[in-house]
Amino acid sequence: MELKKLLLSKALPTTTSNYYLEKSPILDKYQPSSQFSNHHQHNLSTLASHLQQIAPALSPEIIEQQSLILPIPSDFMICLNDRHCCICLPTTEENITKRIAGIDGNIWIPMYVSFLNCPPIFGEAAKRDMNIEPEFVVYDILNLISLPYSEIEIKHEWAFNIAYTGEVEKHTVIEIQTWKGIYKIMPINVLALIFVGLHKEAERVSGKRLKSVFVKTTKTQGRIDKDAIRNAVKIARLECTGVKSMPALNVY
């Protein structure tokens, strides 16, 4: 499936607790085909889980302090922590950042994207849509951005469908109900939507134009995962200065 160009607005409403993504990605209209299959469940023991088992235990305080370090000079930093994410802005102290609260007052933002209405939204409002129309909401995106279709462990709680396109090289796609019907979208495009929303919020709080971003994540397992994150940053029209793994953080 040809990867479509993502067209997104830079405007950000500042009077609402919702993160609105002014224009949706160009989605591919769903067409029934033998190339698409139903949910497939496969248990995968990842490298990350092995590393977590053998790594020395660190206190939550040390993990928190280390997560705020900016390894490479960047305009801002994004932390991806399983189903939540946050924005970090540089401080006057060299290589140290500070987590900022979003427009809803929370530091950690749920990584949920809702396609119930146009434009799509992400964050707390998207998570609330789960209680209304769960088939319109995508989450757990870090589990989908780099794994091939055959290695994705399907969760029974997902109301969206996982499929693939291509006969030789199977590319994972998400089949999701939208305000325009059922569409399919590449997982990195969903992550790019989240990056766009975080970028807008970082610029709103800082009052500056920001371009370069460093990404830390608890889900990175290797080069393929990091490349997927870099591609999502590029689709969001940002410059990625680096991607680094980090231990899981306490969400507050």
> pLDDT category, 33, cuts 50, 70, 90?
very low
Cβ contact 154:41 at 8 Å: yes
Cβ contact 76:90 at 8 Å: yes
Question: 239: Cβ–Cβ under 8 A, 6 or more apart, which residues?
Answer: 211, 212, 213, 233
Residue with tokens 């800082």: 206
Which pair of structure tokens corresponds to residue 85?
């994410």
Burial class (CB in 10 A: 0-12, 13-18, 19+), 214: buried
Q: Residue range 26-50: average pLDDT?
A: 41
Helix, coil or strand: residue 20: strand
User: What would the pLDDT profile of 14-29 be if each residue is shown by its tens digit?
Assistant: 333 454 454 444 444 4
> pLDDT category, 208, cuts 50, 70, 90?
very high
Question: 134: Cβ–Cβ under 8 A, 6 or more apart, which residues?
Answer: 159
Q: What is the pLDDT of residue 2?
A: 34
Cβ contact 149:164 at 8 Å: yes
Domains, the chain, ordered by start: 19-245 (3.30.420.40)
User: What would the pLDDT profile of 169-198 be if each residue is shown by its tens digit?
Assistant: 668 899 999 999 999 999 999 999 999 999
Q: What is the pLDDT of residue 61?
A: 83
